[in-house]
Structure 1
Amino acid sequence: MSRRNMSDIIEAYLKSFLQDAEHVEIKRSDIADQFDCVPSQINYVINTRFTQEHGYLVESKRGGGGYIRILKIQLTSDADEVASMLDLIGNQISYRNGVNIIETLIEREIITQREGRLILSVIEKSVLHAISNQDQAARAMLLKTFLHQLRYELTSQASNEDY
């Protein structure tokens, strides 16, 4: 039996609302009370599990009537999804953010788990550090190359389905 930590439980709880809705609005203090944790735990979950790399946007309003709104990014096609991920990478990317992008592609069934594991093996810190002292830049270049190829294949596939 595997034990899930509080962050995993809160993440699953919030994602359960997003299965049937495009967004969820919460009050940080209400969720913290419900799970008997500190509000900073809710911040941690939102800041690490609901990022753009994971396919979410977060809006917040501070103050007495404040809220946190988590929006699921809905793109029209897999190629659009890949294009939005390309925009996130820039000239450098951390290993953690690279993992987030690959996990999102797997979760959205754009790539298989096997493909994801293969990509992750190439962008791993130890591999990149052995070939370059600029591992974040090299990681960004490798991920962009992969995503450009994936986007090209998805676009070609979509245009072939139109005929």
Structure 2
Amino acid sequence: MAKLSNSIEEFINELLFDAGGSLEIQRSQISDHFNCAPSQINYVLTTRFTPIKGYYVESRRGGGGFIRIVKVNLEDETDTLELFYEYIGDSITKDKADDLLLELYRIDKVTKKEMELMRVALSDRALYESENKNTLRANLLKNMLLVVFS
């Protein structure tokens, strides 16, 4: 399944590149190309084309349905910070926080050591006495981002 997901991701990225960073396509076109269920396309879109990875995805279902994917430029720090804040919201799970930290590392905003320190500070183990770990984690992460982007 991972191999198929990787192929679908690569295919969509090629289409995005050819289209100049903005693409509108029907889900069925992609699933027909790979001879797979449309749910597989949904899986790839929700796991590989996320806001923190710099993608805006809009989906409309039904007969005239489509998927619109836009590659967002993460070089503008203000826009990136806003995008990350929106992703975090009022609460964030450990797994989603880890995804965000990995993206910070990937775009060279933090070193590997800084990323690992932040992961430990945001871990369930570090927040074990908090009644609402995910809310506390969101607040801590937003404050960490202020330092990263200052």
Give the aligned CA root-mean-square deviation in angstroms: 2.4
| CA positional deviation for 1:84 | 2.5
Q: Partner of 1:68: helix, strand, or coil?
A: strand
Aligned residues: 149
Identity between Structure 1 and Structure 2 (%):
37
1:42 and 2:15 aligned: no
| CA positional deviation for 1:137 | 1.2
TM-score, normalised on structure 1?
Answer: 0.76
| CA positional deviation for 1:139 | 0.9
2:129 aligns with 131
| CA positional deviation for 1:58 | 0.9
2:145 aligns with 147
TM-score, normalised on structure 2?
Answer: 0.81
State the 4+ residue runs in structure 1 displaced beyond 3 angstroms: 16-20, 61-65
Distance 1:123 1:15, change over 3 A: farther
**In structure 1, distance between residues paired with 2:105 and 2:16:** 18
Superposed CA deviations along residues 46-82 of structure 1, whole A, max 9, x for unmatched, are: 1222222322111233343432111112255234312
Structure 1: which 5+ residue stretches go unaligned? 153-163
Given that residues 90 and 138 in structure 2 are in contact (C-alpha distance below 8 angstroms), is that contact kept between their aligned partners in structure 1? yes
Structure 2: which 5+ residue stretches go unaligned? none
| Most deviating of 69-78 and 14-23 | 14-23
**In structure 2, distance between residues paired with 1:19 and 1:118:** 35
Which residue identity does 2:76 align to in structure 1? S
**In structure 1, distance between residues paired with 2:148 and 2:82:** 10
